[in-house]
């Protein structure tokens, strides 16, 4: 994997994807073409259709030379993904997919897809004991550029909503090698998970009145935007549902929860000027 730290685009910074960091995000819905239209209009870029051996089609959302994420129709996905309805499936880079998968099974995870070769490397998908789905991936040497781009229109953070952050942190620590610490955010406390000292995710306790239709844990990615008011208004005009107003995250920036036109839950984040870079 490459350890490039710059890109050809002046407004985009890339960082090495080391083991334990998120390396990919996959959008699942009943209408991937509608999602492509929405995200292209909201954050720019272009899409590319890639036929898959299973007969499904993977749509890559790109920005120039950089791949952002993929979109797929739920039809043709494993049953445990179809039953979720619209959702994001994040993948974490691991040094050995089979070993990480085995550790997950030891701790009570359910298998969504056993380890398999996919052309880019070796991957697997699991559902953790609280119901959150996550992918494991070990890249084949030279098959990927090994970087996570940052900037407007790129994934900048990922959050786990879970009924038990401590139990989830223990599971993820065993499977992925993450460490977890509680961080005081002023009006609330959040668990921050790190990989080799680098923050990678937040773990939030699921509220009793959680409006999301799932009554189980779920991953919730953040897309970076340059101007929050403009992005939020544009998202709404494009058919997204905004369940609440723009909210501050002390020391980080401002965020806007959304449900895109396919029903997929995504946050928009405008970082404050001196906020640390997320993976």
Same domain, 96 and 141: yes
CA distance 190 to 99: 29
In a domain, 4, yes or no: no
In a domain, 7, yes or no: no
pLDDT the model gives residue 211: 65
Percent of the chain having pLDDT more than 70?
Answer: 87
Same domain, 86 and 154: no
Same domain, 127 and 154: no
Same domain, 159 and 203: yes
pLDDT of 36 strictly over 60: yes
Same domain, 46 and 101: yes
- Say what the pTM is: 0.90
Same domain, 86 and 126: yes
Q: Quick one: which of 258, 56, 15, 242 has its CA closest to 150?
A: 15
Choose the weakest-confidence range: 73-87, 88-102, 148-162, 204-218: 204-218
3-state SS record for 121-164: EEEEEEECCCCCEEEEEEECCCCCCCEEEECCCCEEEEEEEECC
Same domain, 262 and 138: no
In a domain, 8, yes or no: no
pLDDT the model gives residue 279: 47
Domain boundary, last residue among 112, 147, 182: 147
Same domain, 161 and 99: no
Confidence of residue 209 (pLDDT cuts 50, 70, 90): low
Domain boundary, last residue among 117, 147, 177: 147
Domain boundary, last residue among 125, 147, 169: 147
Mean pLDDT, the chain, whole residue set: 88
pLDDT of 7 strictly over 60: no
Phi, psi of 249 (to 5 degrees): -120, 105
Q: How many domains does the chain have?
A: 2
Residue with tokens 């009924």: 163
Same domain, 110 and 173: no
pLDDT the model gives residue 30: 96
In a domain, 276, yes or no: no
pLDDT the model gives residue 213: 64
CATH number at 159 reads 3.10.180.10
pLDDT of 6 strictly over 70: no
In a domain, 6, yes or no: no
In a domain, 180, yes or no: yes
In a domain, 22, yes or no: yes
Q: Is 101 exposed, middle or buried (0-12, 13-18, 19+ CB in 10 A)?
A: buried
CA distance 27 to 264: 8
Choose the weakest-confidence range: 34-43, 49-58, 78-87, 181-190: 181-190
Same domain, 170 and 262: yes
Same domain, 191 and 84: no
pLDDT the model gives residue 142: 80
Same domain, 27 and 50: yes
pLDDT of 61 strictly over 50: yes
For helices 97-106 and 165-176, angle between their N-to-C axes, nearest 10 degrees:
140
- Report pLDDT digits (tens) over 103-147: 999 999 999 999 999 888 999 999 999 999 999 999 988 888 778
- Expressed as residue numbers, the domain containing 153 is 149-271
Percent of the chain having pLDDT more than 90?
Answer: 69
């Amino acid at each position: 994997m490459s350890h490039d730290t710059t890109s050809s685009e002046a407004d985009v910074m890339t960082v090495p994807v080391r083991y334990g960091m998120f390396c990919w995000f996959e959008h699942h819905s009943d209408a991937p073409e509608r999602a492509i239209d929405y995200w292209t209009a909201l954050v720019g870029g272009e899409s590319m259709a890639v036929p898959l051996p299973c007969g499904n089609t993977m749509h890559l959302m790109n920005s120039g030379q950089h791949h952002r994420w993929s979109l797929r129709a739920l039809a043709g996905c494993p049953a445990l993904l179809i039953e979720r309805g619209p959702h994001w499936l994040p993948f974490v880079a691991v040094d050995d997919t089979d070993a990480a998968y085995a550790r997950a099974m030891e701790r009570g995870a359910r298998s969504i897809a056993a380890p398999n070769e996919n052309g880019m490397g070796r991957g697997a998908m699991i559902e953790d004991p609280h119901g959150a789905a996550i992918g494991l991936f070990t890249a084949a040497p030279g098959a990927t550029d090994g970087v996570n781009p940052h900037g407007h229109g790129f994934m900048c953070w990922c959050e786990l909503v879970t009924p038990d952050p401590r139990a989830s942190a223990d599971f993820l620590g065993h499977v992925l090698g993450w460490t977890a610490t509680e961080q005081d955010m002023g009006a609330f406390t959040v668990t921050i998970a790190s990989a080799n000292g680098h923050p990678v995710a937040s773990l939030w306790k699921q509220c009793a009145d959680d409006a999301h239709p799932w009554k189980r844990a779920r991953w919730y990615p953040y897309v970076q935007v340059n101007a929050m008011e403009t992005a939020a208004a544009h998202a709404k005009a494009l058919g997204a549902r905004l369940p609440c107003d723009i909210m501050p995250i002390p020391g980080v920036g401002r965020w806007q929860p959304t449900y895109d036109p396919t029903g997929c839950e995504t946050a928009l984040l405008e970082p404050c000027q001196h906020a640390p870079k997320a993976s």
